[in-house]
Amino acid sequence: KQTLLPLLRVETSSFIFPCKLALQKPELKHMVMELLKCIPLLLFLLFVCGLDHFIFSILSIIQHHSFIQYSYQSSHHLSVNVMGESLMAQLLRGTIGALNSSFETEIETSNLACLPQPTEMTRQQYLNTCLPLGALALLCLAQVYPFRLRRAIAAFYFPKREKTRVLFLYNKLLRQRKNFFYLQRGRVARQAREPPGPGTLLMQWCRQRWPWLRRCLRQRCTLCGTPETPRHQPCPNPDCSALYCQSCW
């Protein structure tokens, strides 16, 4: 609880607050890993769609440039004329005259039945193909909110385990905070031994010469870097220009 152990600014980024709608830093890492797993599916989908379009283009070119049409026309006329009025002539006209025939042939054919008949996928079909992957990506983004309920569910069914976890977290934060201030104290000591840069001296001179510029030239906390507010505490040493926020002080 914040009344028991208020979190510092550097500690806030390592916790997940269930009531915040925005994605938080510990959740982003898990979400990015889930989205990276969708990349192979996306590449495979793009490859399949590109291969489909490539095959359609090839078959369409074959269909339009390999069409061949054949046209065949023929005519046949047979006529036997027997001259004369004799019996033999009449007999020949009766027998051979039956052979007289006349016909015309016209044939048109093509290789249309042998050519491929490709059908291009519509935009709606492409959209229906990509919708499952889009839904999977949205689930990767939205799964962080149901995951926040895991601790509450576990605490409801196992209250003793929840109490143990809270005590462990409390002691862990105390140890981390002790080590953090120990390291920061050494860093601030090394920084104080170094001579201030010209930019720092110029800003301090401007703040002393024109106090109204303090709203624009605000200092930051030496430890956590929060901007200056009226609640910040300056170092009591007159020769030190360090500034600390309330929690760090």
Task: List pLDDT tens digits, range 95-146.
Answer: 777 777 787 888 888 888 888 888 888 889 999 999 999 999 999 888 888 9
> pTM higher than 0.85 for the full model?
no
Domain finish residue from 102, 137, 157: 157
- First CA to last CA distance, the chain: 21
Rounded Cα gap, residues 94 and 100, in angstroms: 11
Please state which of the ranges 54-63, 141-150, 186-195 shows the lowest mean pLDDT.
186-195
Q: Is residue 171 part of a domain?
A: no
Same domain, 148 and 97: yes
Same domain, 30 and 85: yes
Q: Is residue 95 part of a domain?
A: yes
Rounded Cα gap, residues 78 and 75, in angstroms: 10
Domain finish residue from 125, 157, 189: 157
Q: Which residue has the tokens 């196992």?
A: 158
Please state which of the ranges 3-17, 57-71, 125-139 shows the lowest mean pLDDT.
3-17
Q: Is residue 111 part of a domain?
A: yes
Band of pLDDT at residue 196, cut at 50, 70 and 90: low
Give the model confidence (pLDDT) of 12-39 as tens digits.
Answer: 888 888 888 888 888 888 889 999 999 9
Same domain, 114 and 208: no
Same domain, 47 and 127: yes
Q: Is the pLDDT of residue 58 over 90?
A: yes
Q: Is residue 37 part of a domain?
A: yes
Q: Is residue 210 part of a domain?
A: yes
Q: Which domain holds residue 206?
A: 197-248
Same domain, 64 and 144: yes
Structure-token pair, residue 89:
């002539």
Q: Is the pLDDT of residue 43 over 90?
A: yes
Same domain, 103 and 215: no
Same domain, 33 and 113: yes
Contacting residues for 70 by C-beta, under 8 A, at least 6 apart: 107, 108, 109, 110
Domain finish residue from 106, 131, 157: 157
| CB burial of residue 18 (10 Å; 0-12, 13-18, 19+) | exposed
* Count of domains observed in the chain: 2
Same domain, 203 and 153: no
Q: Is residue 190 part of a domain?
A: no
Give the model confidence (pLDDT) of 233-245 as tens digits.
Answer: 887 877 777 778 8
Please state which of the ranges 37-41, 201-205, 243-247 shows the lowest mean pLDDT.
201-205
More confident residue, 154 or 80: 154
Same domain, 112 and 204: no
Per-residue confidence (pLDDT) for residue 198, from 0 to 100: 65
Smallest CA-to-CA distance from 116 within 167, 64, 187, 45 is with: 64
